[in-house]
Amino acid sequence: MRGPRRRLPALPALLWLALAPLPGAPGPAARAELRVRVRLPGGQVTEESLQADSGSDCISLELRTADGALVTLTADFRQEVKIFRALILGELERGQSQFQALCFVTRLHRNEIIPSESMAKLRQKNPRTVRQAEEMRGLEHLSMDVAVNFSKGAQLSSHIHNVCAEAKEAIYTREEDVKFWLEKGVDGSMFEVLPQTSDLPDLQRCKLCADRWKPCICSYSLSIEWYPCMLKYCKSRDAGGKVSSYKCGIRSCQKGYTFDYYVPQKQLCLWDEDT
Q: With beta carbons less than 8 A apart as the criterion, state whether 263 and 144 touch.
A: no
Query: Which phi-psi region, left, alpha or beta, contains residue 41 (left: φ > 0; alpha: ψ -120 to 50)?
Result: alpha
Q: How many CB atoms lie within 10 A of CB 190?
A: 22
The span from the CA of 105 to the CA of 113, in Å, is 16
Residue 234 host element (H or E): strand 216-237
Look up the pTM and report it.
0.84
Tens digit of each residue's pLDDT, the chain (275 residues): 344 333 333 333 333 344 443 333 444 567 888 899 998 888 889 999 999 998 999 999 999 988 889 999 999 999 999 999 999 987 666 666 678 999 999 999 988 999 998 888 887 777 788 988 999 998 999 999 999 999 999 999 999 999 999 999 999 999 999 999 999 999 999 999 998 877 787 899 999 998 989 999 999 999 999 999 988 888 887 777 788 877 778 889 999 999 999 999 998 998 877 54
**In sequence order, which residues have a C-beta less than 8 Å from that of residue 247 and are 6 or more positions away?**
19, 118, 231, 232, 233
Domain ranges within the chain, ordered by starting residue = 32-268
In one letter, which amino acid is 65? Answer: T
